[in-house]
Structure 1
């Protein structure tokens, strides 16, 4: 199959995690930039990336990149790209998103309409048509401009990859599935070790951890836009990727994963989400306040997303909440704790300085991933 360049966007600050995932799938990295990893692959790679990558937001098929400082340049260079290679005569195509950073062209709506016109002109010429029915498969185009360099990709995923299909029940301020998976992968947690999330909300951290432990591919139970692209991807490629994903699953894995929350509704939602993900038998959820966090075993992990206090009335409760969290953590002999928060005084009230902290953008919100490392367990003889 023909080699193509694929682009996988991710959260800013987590490119290294996604790069490792792509390499583990056996594909060659083309480049790593802020918020995205590009790699080389064939049609099979599009299926594999969508089904297996835990930390990518979507998978784009790169059509081209060029420099453009004027709309005329944008039109001419977009028109020069080989659109007929990707979009069939009846394909539905439009520029669904344009983002511009530090570039002379910055109006998304103008960029979108000019590029669509250029594509139409190119395809008119190639197919000898004056009008396109656009009643076939969808080929949504995403474009980002950075310092006047225009990068264009066709979205193969459709709905963002963080939507695994299990989180129907939502609570306020949830963490996305892709971000939760990436943060777990930044820790040394392995399925043999205990994992507790004392602020579990809708259960995303415990569910993502359980899916990793059971070797469940995140995209197994959903569909993707490119499944309709018969002109580019043979149906067999999707079946092969799904067969491989199914073969890898081990639902009988033995784990100790727990999720607590003070909110009974959140715990109920988390249980339902875990059930929908097929991992409810691997997680123990309980209504419990962080001040009551206890565990008899040693060398466990806490990975959590405590409240940030985005609303003013909640902010006043944060010092006490983080203080209680810190006190509970100090009672857990030899445990490690990892928390993502935008609360500036997190370390101060938690009561100790993190061994490491990492800046991560959760959407537009700047957060820090604080890492309090416990000792490593002794090696078994």
Structure 2
């Protein structure tokens, strides 16, 4: 097996550009961006480094092969032709997942079954096994993705999605994904020497992600990944990636980050999550109504994911909240305000037209990221 791989970093719609920038910052070039993913070349070390460092990607996969298939026979034969023995040991537990869009092979369960049979057949031949595979070993997650009859076979290196940082020990209802929270921070031009406030903090995800960014702490530092169990990957790549992360973290960077919420329980949850992330002393938490918000500095950043008012009986209260926030921030014209909401008339209630808007998805909810740029000093 060659040490040169093609890797795929998957991302939520709208975040591909951020993932591409993160990969460039990690030193990867010749990047190909497609809907929901960024494709790039690397050696084995890239598996460890990208899983450890990517803040806004969902997962990292190894591309095994791409080909066209218009029949189940073609899918079987071309899957079987792949060198699966380079990746999977003879006792591998093979878990095949799939998706298909605008393709002749539209039955996902059938595609998954055929790919599994083809892989098993290949391994039986290569390992000279004349009985069923035991599948008693490490789990390998294979994905068959078919788009317009083009088949992509890949192997997941990540395991639990990259948003699972390992610090969220509790959460409020409908929490913001860690990857999206990191994206909301990275889509601003906040720098760690500036004040940052989240007045709708919920589980504390935006302040925690901002603190990780501010001190250049790798978001995957406190978790494990599927590929760590792969025999052919030397332990040294993980050790070196962790050592690199430790060396370039800036634990001495002072931060001014505050998270507040009207809900006492949310503040307790956020405090415990920050403690689990090792950031207990870096973030100030307050139980506070947004209407009582009064920034302490002339310049700063407000980043928030307020309630959207999706339930009709909540709408009046939510719209009043938006109006209050807009009225308060008018008195702080040098502040940069960034709000993610699915409420289509947010600007009307906030009272100011956004400098810029960006379409994002909060889970399956289509939302806008409203950006109000502060006046320059």
Aligned to 2:347: 347
Is the deviation greater in 22-31 or in 10-19? Answer: 22-31
- For residues 102-117 of structure 1, the aligned pairs below 5 Å read 102-117=102-117
Deviation at 1:143, TM superposition (A): 2.6
Q: Deviations over 1:79-115 (max 9, x none)?
A: 22221111111211120x2122222322221221111
- What secondary structure is seen at the aligned counterpart in 2 of 1:28? coil
**Residue 142 (structure 1) aligns with:** 143
The alignment's TM-score, normalised by the length of structure 1, stands at 0.95
Q: What does 1:286-325 correspond to in 2, within 5 Å?
A: 286-325=286-325
Matched residue, 1:55: 56
Q: Is the 8 A contact 1:299 1:375 kept in 2?
A: no
CA distance in structure 1 between the partners assigned to 2:100 and 2:328 by the alignment: 45
Q: Which residue of 1 aligns with 2:221?
A: 220
1:78 matched residue in structure 2: 79
Q: Which moved more, 1:137-146 or 1:172-181?
A: 137-146
Aligned to 1:87, what secondary structure does the other structure show?
coil
Q: Is contact 1:98-1:111 (8 Å) kept?
A: yes
2:209 is the counterpart of 1:208:
yes
1:357 matched to which residue of 2? 357
User: Which residue of the partner structure matches residue 16 of structure 1?
Assistant: 17
1:73, CA displacement in angstroms?
A: 2.2
Question: What secondary structure does 2:119 align onto?
Answer: helix
CA shift in 2, pair 1:144/1:362, >3 Å: farther
Q: Which residue of 2 aligns with 1:234?
A: 234
- Give RMSD over aligned pairs: 1.4
Q: 1:320 to 1:40 in 2, by over 3 A?
A: same
Cα drift, residue 275 of structure 1: 0.6
1:310, CA displacement in angstroms? 3.2
Identify the residue that residue 253 of structure 1 maps to in structure 2: 253
Residue ranges of structure 2 left out of the alignment (5+ in a row): none
SS of structure 2 residue aligned to 1:113: helix
Q: Give the distance between the partners of 2:31 and 2:144, measured in 1 at CA.
A: 18
Q: Distance in 1 between matches of 2:44 and 2:205?
A: 31
- Counterpart for residue 172 of structure 1: 173
Between 354-363 and 218-227, the greater mean CA deviation after superposition: 354-363
Number of equivalenced pairs = 375
> CA-to-partner distance for each residue in 1:276-334, whole Å, 9 max, x for gaps?
10112111110111111111312210111111123333234221111112112212231
**SS state at 1:275 partner:** helix
- How far apart are the structure 1 equivalents of 2:314 and 2:213? 33
Change in CA separation of 1:372 and 1:247 when aligned onto 2, cut-off 3 Å = same
The alignment partner of 1:59 has SS state of strand
Maintained 8 Å contact 1:60/1:154: yes
Q: How does 1:149-168 map to 2 (within 5 A)?
A: 149-168=150-169
> Does the aligned pair in 2 maintain the 1:5–1:30 contact within 8 Å?
no
Is this contact kept in 2: 1:22–1:29, CA < 8 A? no
Give the drift of 1:203.
0.5
Distance 1:104 1:289 in 2: 55
- The aligned residue for residue 119 of structure 1 is 119
Q: Displaced runs of 4+ in structure 1, greater than 6 A?
A: none
Alpha-carbon spacing, 1:147–1:219, altered in 2? closer, same or farther (3 Å): same
Higher mean C-alpha displacement, 4-13 vs 129-138: 129-138
SS at match of 2:38: strand
Helix, strand or coil for the counterpart of 2:281? helix
- The 1:30–1:300 alpha-carbon spacing in structure 2 relative to 1, beyond 3 Å, is closer
Mapped contact 2:192–2:214 kept (Cα < 8 A): yes
Q: Once structures 1 and 2 are overlaid, which stretch shifts more, 298-307 or 104-113? A: 104-113
Deviations 1:96-138 (A, max 9, x none): x212222232222122111101111121221111321212222
| Separation of aligned partners in 2, 1:71 and 1:348 | 54
**Aligned partners of 2:372, 2:227: CA distance in 1, in Å?**
42
